[in-house]
Homo-oligomer: A and B are copies of this chain.
Amino acid sequence: MDPRVREHAEVLVDWSARVERGDDVVLSVAEGAHDLAVAVAATLGERGANLLATYDSDEVLRAYLTSHDGGFEADPAHERGLIENADVYLRLGGGRNTSAMADLPGETRQAYSRAREGLREARMATDWVSTVHPTRSLAQQAGMAYEEYREFAYSAILRDWESLAEEMAEMKELLDEGSEVRLEKEGTDLTMSIEGRTAVNSAASVVYDSHNLPSGEVFTAPYDTEGEVFFDVPMTINGKRLQDVSLVFEDGEVVDHSAGANEDELTTILNTDEGARYLGELGIGMNRGIDRFTDNVLFDEKMGDTVHLAVGRAYDACLPEDEEGNKSAVHVDMITDVSEDSVLEVDGRVVQRNGTFRWEEGFEG
């Protein structure tokens, strides 16, 4: 086995999820993630954790959803019993076909997603971490050779996370102290309130309230969003490629939207529920180890020269204890390239211009 697979497993189990002896671990295995699952199982065995693996195959799910009449039961007791008793939930993504569910009707997907909202909340109450095994299918989506893609993925995943966490602490401080964020670039003039919200220093570990591996972003939960925003980074969502998305916000709500491709899919997402038309996340990419877009949000949204916004669910870690934040069955990230002709301000102070942060060399205030 490629030693990087074993290293990946160790970063996931030890740095990210902080698994300890006796932890009840659910290991969610995508169709193409077998090798990583083997390595993670070995690491979990070494730590003395309790392992149960689930098979999260897109093809199995598509078959199930396609033949179901759509009256999905909320919170099946068996899955609820599994998740509620789990300490740790490790999701190993990496399928064999990123379009495996492309022909599923949006309404079916939505109905299923709504029925599973309780399960999702329960999963997010565990020490959950989502990562991805670099598969040929993901390489294809990225337009890269398999070995080239593996280099790319492991350089993003196998980082010095402690040192990156220190770098990101500065951005977290700016956001925690700030009240309003403004983003300006072509097709974009957006303001959001972040007053009272707590930013997450997303250093790929549950101890930082960070649940993605790789990570390398600082994010918070904005509200009272006003203005328009243009997302120029293409992305595949639910098997559909969304491109050149524009959203217009009034009083925090999306009141107009368009997309250069698959606008229907965007409409479906925004119509999932009320919360799907409000922002749940503002994230600032700070992982300079990710050097190109690969049409995979797990990587793209962490890239150094990007800012992303998500419609839908806000993460609890960003919210004061007495506030609910935005609720939704969806959380869909959309990314904008800020490497050129862009300004990110916090309370009128420029924090990032043309991709360069204020503490970086070459910054022009």
Known: A52-B54, A55-B29, A73-B50. Contact between A63 and B45, CB under 8 A? yes
A85→B119 CA distance, assembly (Å): 15
Point out the residues of chain B lying under 8 angstroms from A38, CB to CB: 57, 59-60, 63
Flag if B37 contacts A55 (CB, 8 Å): yes
Flag if A42 contacts B69 (CB, 8 Å): no
Q: Does A84 contact B (CB under 8 A)?
A: yes
Tell me, rounded to whole Å, the shortest Cβ–Cβ distance linking A10 to chain B.
Answer: 12
Flag if B79 contacts A50 (CB, 8 Å): yes
Q: Does A39 contact B (CB under 8 A)?
A: yes
Q: Does A46 contact B (CB under 8 A)?
A: yes
Flag if A68 contacts B53 (CB, 8 Å): no
Q: Does A34 contact B (CB under 8 A)?
A: yes
Point out the residues of chain B lying under 8 angstroms from A39, CB to CB: 63
Flag if A57 contacts B37 (CB, 8 Å): yes
Residue in B53, B68, B78 whose CB lies within 8 Å of A85: B78
> How many residues of chain A have a CB within 8 Å of chain B?
50
Q: Which residue of B lies closest to A39 (CB)?
A: B63
Flag if A78 contacts B24 (CB, 8 Å): yes
Per-position binary interface string of chain A over residues 30-56, scored 1 when its CB falls under 8 Å from any chain B CB and 0 otherwise: 010010011101111110101111111
A237→B142 CA distance, assembly (Å): 44
Point out the residues of chain B lying under 8 angstroms from A46, CB to CB: 67-68
Residue in B31, B50, B66, B73 whose CB lies within 8 Å of A78: B50
Please state the number of chain copies in the assembly: 2
Point out the residues of chain B lying under 8 angstroms from A81, CB to CB: 78, 80-82, 84-85
Flag if B51 contacts A54 (CB, 8 Å): no
A57→B36 CA distance, assembly (Å): 12
Q: Does A102 contact B (CB under 8 A)?
A: no
Tell me, rounded to whole Å, the shortest Cβ–Cβ distance linking A222 to chain B.
Answer: 35
Q: Does A61 contact B (CB under 8 A)?
A: yes
Flag if A66 contacts B45 (CB, 8 Å): yes
Q: Does A286 contact B (CB under 8 A)?
A: no
Flag if B68 contacts A45 (CB, 8 Å): yes
Q: Does A3 contact B (CB under 8 A)?
A: no
Residue in B22, B34, B61, B67 whose CB lies within 8 Å of A43: B67
Q: Which residue of B lies closest to A76 (CB)?
A: B50
Flag if A80 contacts B85 (CB, 8 Å): yes
Q: Which residue of B lies closest to A60 (CB)?
A: B41
Q: Which residue of B lies closest to A46 (CB)?
A: B67
A53→B59 CA distance, assembly (Å): 12
Q: Which 5 A-B pairs have the closest CB atoms?
A: A81-B81, A45-B67, A50-B76, A45-B68, A55-B55
A contact set with B: CB distance below 8 Å: 22, 24-27, 29, 31, 34, 37-39, 41-46, 48, 50-57, 59-61, 63-69, 71, 73, 76-87
